Amino acid sequence: MMRQDSVIEVDGVTRRFGSLTAVDGVSLELGEGEFFALLGPSGCGKTTLLRLIAGFEIPDAGRILLDGNDITRLRPNRRPVNLMFQSYALFPHMTVRANIAYGLEMEKRPKDEIRSRVADILAMTELTALADRKPDKLSGGQRQRVALARALVKRPRVLLLDEPLGALDKKLREQMQLELKKLQHELGITFVVVTHDQDEALVMADRIALMKDGVIAQAGSPRELYENPASRFVAGFIGVTNFFEGRAADGGVIVDGHGLLQGTGATGIAAGERVALAVRPERIALSREAGLAGHNAVAGDIADLAYHGQDVNLLVRVDGVDRPVMVRLTAAEEEQGNFQPGQRVWCNWRPEHGRVLKD
Amino acid sequence: MPRARSAPVALNLHLGLVYAFLYGPVAVLMVLSFNRAGMPTAWTGFSLDWYVRLANSPAIISSTVNTLIVAVCSTLIATALGTLLALGVEKRRTSSALDALLFAPMIIPDIVLAIALLSFFTLLELTLGLYSIILSHVVFNIAFVCAVVRTRLKQFDYSIVEASSDLGASDFTTFRRITLPVIFPGVLAGALLAFTLSVDEFIIAYFTSGAGSSSTTLPMRIYSMIRFGVTPEINAMATIVMLFSFVLVFLSQRANRVPSVHQ
C-alpha cells in the first residue's frame, strides 16, 4: 500500500528502565491506513514502543506526533489511539456488549448512537449471539474478537495490537491473520501490530520494522526485508538463511576451501573484514555431476531430507561449513533429481542471490 | 481439585470431637436461654421469656444502639481507608517491614492497644465518648479490611485498569466503574469482618469509652451484668450476638469466595 500522509511520527524516542534502555532513539513514520508490524525477539523493545505510542510510557527523550500535533505527554485516555492488550484485558464483571459500549460511553455519545455502533461492530466481528455473555463464558478466540471490537468501535486514528494472536492455536491464528488484514483494509485504520512471529508479520503487514536491543535493525516492506536484509541479524530472523562465513573481498566473500563466492550488497564493508554470505534455501539449485555455469557452486553430501508436501528441504553437509546448508526444492524438482541421503551433490546459486552481510 | 475420598472413621470421629469441644459450651448456653426456670440445673420447659425481658430493658436497648453506632461508623471509615490502603500498598514494591507494620494492629494484644489509645487520647486531652471508641475501632479494623482486600488484589489483573484508561476513562471513572466493582467482594468481606469485630469488642471499648453510661456498649453492659452472676437474660443476649456474628462471618466468606475453576 502507498504511504500517504503520516499519522504517527516517532521522533528519536528513548525510554530507559533503570540501567536498561528498552527503546533507544527510535524514529518511525506510520502512514495513513498502513498495516505496520513491529517485529523482534522478546526484550527487543517492541512492546515498550507500542506502549509509548499508546501513552502508558513517557519517553525520556524524543517526541511522538499524531497528525502533526505533539502528544508525547498526553495521557492515554486523551489520545485517539487504542490498544488491544495481549491479555485482552476484558472487564470481567461486564457483558460483551457492555465491554464494547464502555469506550463510547466515555466519549459521552448519545445512547442511540452507542446502541447502533455497538450492534454494527458486534455483527462485523460475529459476536451478536454472544453479546450478553460475560468474558469467562467465552473461548480464547471469542475473547480476542471482543477485545478487537472494543478497541475498533471507537474508530481510533491508530489501532495498536500487542501480540493479538499470541494466545490462539496455530490454525485459528492463520485464519485470524487474514481476517485482521481484511478488516484493516475495509476500515482503513492504521494498524500497528507487535509480534515475535516473523511469518505473522510477513503475511499481514504492509511494512515491518525489525527491532533488536531497542533499535530498529531494518524497516521496509516484507519483500525488502526478505530479499535485501541489511544485516546478518535481519537475514537470520526473517525466514531461513544459509550463512557462509569468510572474509570480505571485491565482489564477494572468500570462504576457506571454496575460494571467492560472489555476492552483492557489500556497502560499508572493508576488504578482509569478517563477514558472511547469506543465501536463501529456495535460491539454491542442486546438480549431480559438476557446478552449473554462471553460478557459485560448493560441493557436499546430502545428510538429510525432510518432506513437507509441496516442497522438500534437503540438508547438505558442505566441506568447511559448520552448519549443513539447507536447500529447498519443489516436490517436482526433488522427484526429477531423485536425491537420496549420502549422495554427492553441488549447491549452485546465482551471484545476485548471495548477500554479503555483517553482524 | 481431586475429589476427596471418604475419610476414615477415626478422622471423622476426631473432627466430631473438635467441633464438640468448640461448640459444646456455646450449645449449652443457647439451650439454657430457652429454659423457663433459667437455672442451669434443670430443664423446666421451653420459653421465650428471657428474650422478652431483654427487649424490655432500656439499659440493654441503649447499649445495643451504642454498639450499632460504633460498629457502623467504624466499619464505614475503616473500609474506605483500608481499601485505599490496600490498593496503594499492592501497587508499590512489597517491603516486609511495611507489611509487618500493616499487620501489627491485628496481632498486638488488645489490652496493649487499649492502653496505648487511652494514653494517646488523654495526652490530646480529648473528652472520651462514643466517638473515641469509634476512632479506636477504626485503628484495628483498617488492618483487617486492608488484609482482606489485599488477598483479593493478588489476583487482580491490572491491565484492565490500563484498558479503561485507553478507552477514554479518567482515573476516577476507572476506579468507580472497573476497579471497585471487580474488587467489591473483597471490600464487602472486609467490611463484614470489621463490623463483626467491632460489635463484640470489649477491652478497647472499655478503656476508651470514658466515664458515664451514655457510651456503654453491649459487651460492656454484659460484663457489668455478669458481676451479679450469669443471668438467663445474658444467655439470651449472648445467643443473639453469636447468631448475628455467625451470619456476618458466613456472609463475609461467601462474598469473598474465589470462583472455583470448572472444567
pLDDT in tens, A275-334: 899 999 999 998 887 778 788 888 899 999 888 888 899 999 988 888 899 999 888 888
Q: How confident is the model at residue B52 (pLDDT cuts 50, 70, 90)?
A: confident
- Average the pLDDT over each of A151-160, A189-198, A305-314 and give the range with the smallest value: A305-314
pLDDT attached to residue A8 = 93
A6 CB within 8 Å of a chain B CB: no
Tell whether the torsion through CA atoms of A219, A221, A225 and A228 is positive or negative.
negative
Cα B238 to Cα B206: distance, rounded to the nearest angstrom? 18
In this structure, are residues A2 and A188 in contact, taking their beta carbons and an 8 Å threshold?
A: no
pLDDT attached to residue A3 = 44
Phi, psi of B191 (to 5 degrees): -65, -45
Chain A residues within 8 A of B166 when measuring between CB atoms: 54-56, 76-77, 82-83, 151
| Alpha-carbon gap: B156 to the closest alpha carbon of chain A (Å) | 10
Residue A65: pLDDT over 90:
yes
A54 CB within 8 Å of a chain B CB: yes
Q: What grid cell was written down for A302?
A: 546430502
Q: How confident is the model at residue B85 (pLDDT cuts 50, 70, 90)?
A: very high
pLDDT one-digit tens code per residue, A87-125: 999 999 999 999 999 999 999 999 999 999 999 999 988
B133 within a domain of the structure (yes/no)? yes
Q: Give B 172-231 residues with CB within 8 A of chain A.
A: 173, 177-178, 181-182
- State mean pLDDT over B72-91: 92
Contact B157 A85 (CB under 8 A): no
ipTM: 0.83
Point out the residue among A82, A91, A93 whose CB comes nearest to the CB of B166.
A82
pLDDT attached to residue B127 = 82
Q: Report the DSSP beta bridge partners of residue A348.
A: A285, A297
pLDDT one-digit tens code per residue, B99-110: 888 888 888 888
B161 within a domain of the structure (yes/no)? yes
| Alpha-carbon gap: B185 to the closest alpha carbon of chain A (Å) | 12
| Alpha-carbon gap: B169 to the closest alpha carbon of chain A (Å) | 6
| Alpha-carbon gap: A47 to the closest alpha carbon of chain B (Å) | 14
Letter string b/e over residues B187-219, b meaning 16 or more CB atoms within 10 A of that residue's CB: bbbbbbbbbbbbbbbebbbbbbbbeeeebbbbb
| Alpha-carbon gap: B243 to the closest alpha carbon of chain A (Å) | 32
Q: Report the DSSP beta bridge partners of residue A209.
A: A38, A219
A87 CB within 8 Å of a chain B CB: yes
Nearest chain A residue to B167 by CA: give it: A103
Sheet of strand A81-84, all strands in order from the earlier edge strand to the far edge = A81-84, A158-162, A190-195, A35-39, A207-212, A215-220
Nearest to B148 by CA among B109, B110, B103: B103
- Average the pLDDT over each of A28-42, A114-128, A327-341 and give the range with the smallest value: A327-341
pLDDT attached to residue B73 = 94
- State mean pLDDT over A204-225: 93
Cα B75 to Cα B139: distance, rounded to the nearest angstrom? 11
Burial of residue B91 (CB within 10 Å: 0-12, 13-18, 19+) is exposed
pLDDT attached to residue B42 = 75
Contact A77 B169 (CB under 8 A): yes
Point out the residue among A77, A93, A150 whose CB comes nearest to the CB of B165.
A77
Instruction: Show the DSSP H helices in chain A as ranges.
Output: 46-54, 96-106, 111-124, 140-152, 170-187, 198-204, 222-227, 232-237, 331-337
Q: What grid cell was written down for A50?
A: 507500542
Residue A2: pLDDT over 60:
no
Q: How confident is the model at residue B38 (pLDDT cuts 50, 70, 90)?
A: low
Domain membership of residue B94 as a residue range: 59-256
List, in order, residues 6 or more apart from B10 with CB less than 8 Å away.
none
Nearest to A180 by CA among A154, A158, A161, A208: A161
Q: Which CATH superfamily, name and number, covers A6-227?
A: P-loop containing nucleotide triphosphate hydrolases (3.40.50.300)
Contact B173 A85 (CB under 8 A): no
Q: With pLDDT > 90 as the criterion, what percentage of chain A qualifies?
A: 57
Q: Quick one: how far is CA A73 from the chain centroid?
A: 28
Residue B262: pLDDT over 80:
no
- Cα angle, residue A225 at apex, residues A221 and A228 outer, rounded to 5°: 120
What distances in angstroms separate CA A101 from CA A159, A274, B175, one per listed residue? 17, 58, 17
3 state DSSP class of A162: strand
A154 CB within 8 Å of a chain B CB: yes
Which CATH number fits the domain that encloses residue B172?
Answer: 1.10.3720.10
Contact B162 A56 (CB under 8 A): yes
Number of domains in chain B: 1
Point out the residue among B167, B182, B259 whose CB comes nearest to the CB of A154.
B167
Q: With pLDDT > 90 as the criterion, what percentage of chain B qualifies?
A: 32
Q: How confident is the model at residue B4 (pLDDT cuts 50, 70, 90)?
A: low
B157 CB within 8 Å of a chain A CB: yes
- State mean pLDDT over A183-206: 91
Prediction pTM value = 0.80
B162 CB within 8 Å of a chain A CB: yes
How many Cβ pairs within 8 Å bridge chains A and B?
Answer: 60
Q: How confident is the model at residue A206 (pLDDT cuts 50, 70, 90)?
A: very high
pLDDT one-digit tens code per residue, B206-216: 888 877 777 88
Q: Quick one: how far is CA A53 from the chain centroid?
A: 18
Cα A268 to Cα A169: distance, rounded to the nearest angstrom? 43
Contact A89 B169 (CB under 8 A): no
Residue B121: pLDDT over 50:
yes
Cα B203 to Cα B3: distance, rounded to the nearest angstrom? 44
Point out the residue among A89, A90, A106 whose CB comes nearest to the CB of B162.
A89
Domain range list for chain A: 6-227, 249-357
Cα B136 to Cα B208: distance, rounded to the nearest angstrom? 8
Chain B residues within 8 A of A106 when measuring between CB atoms: 167-169, 173
Average pLDDT score over chain A = 90
Task: Report, at the CATH architecture level, how domain A249-357 is classified.
Answer: Beta Barrel (2.40)
List, in order, residues 6 or more apart from A204 with CB less than 8 Å away.
A35, A37, A177, A180, A181, A193
Residue B1: pLDDT over 70:
no
For residue A74, the tally of other CB atoms under 10 A from its CB is 16
Best of A52, A93, A104 to substitute, by most chain B Cβ atoms within 10 angstroms, is A93
Cα B40 to Cα A277: distance, rounded to the nearest angstrom? 100
Chain A residues within 8 A of B159 when measuring between CB atoms: 85, 87, 89
Q: How confident is the model at residue A258 (pLDDT cuts 50, 70, 90)?
A: confident
Chain B residues within 8 A of A136 when measuring between CB atoms: 259
3 state DSSP class of B33: coil
In this structure, are residues A46 and A214 in contact, taking their beta carbons and an 8 Å threshold?
A: no
Point out the residue among A55, A85, A93 whose CB comes nearest to the CB of B163.
A85
Write down how long chain B is: 263
Residue B191, H or E segment: helix B180-199
- State mean pLDDT over B88-115: 83
Chain B residues within 8 A of A92 when measuring between CB atoms: 157, 160, 182
Cα B170 to Cα B176: distance, rounded to the nearest angstrom? 10
Q: Quick one: how far is CA A157 from the chain centroid?
A: 22
Chain A residues within 8 A of B164 when measuring between CB atoms: 91, 102
Average pLDDT score over chain B = 85
- State mean pLDDT over A131-157: 92
Q: Long-range contacts of range B185-189, CB-CB < 8 Å, 24 or more positions apart? A: B185/B152, B185/B255, B185/B256, B185/B257, B186/B148, B186/B149, B186/B151, B186/B152, B186/B153, B186/B256, B187/B79, B187/B83, B187/B145, B187/B149, B187/B152, B188/B252, B188/B255, B188/B256, B189/B148, B189/B152, B189/B252, B189/B253, B189/B255, B189/B256
In this structure, are residues A84 and A147 in contact, taking their beta carbons and an 8 Å threshold?
A: yes
pLDDT attached to residue B260 = 44
pLDDT one-digit tens code per residue, B207-246: 888 777 778 888 888 888 888 777 788 888 888 888 888 8
In terms of DSSP bridges, do strands A259-262 and A252-255 run parallel, antiparallel, or are they unpaired?
antiparallel
Q: Report the DSSP beta bridge partners of residue A298.
A: A347
A85 CB within 8 Å of a chain B CB: yes
- Average the pLDDT over each of A28-32, A193-197, A231-235, B40-44 and give the range with the smallest value: B40-44
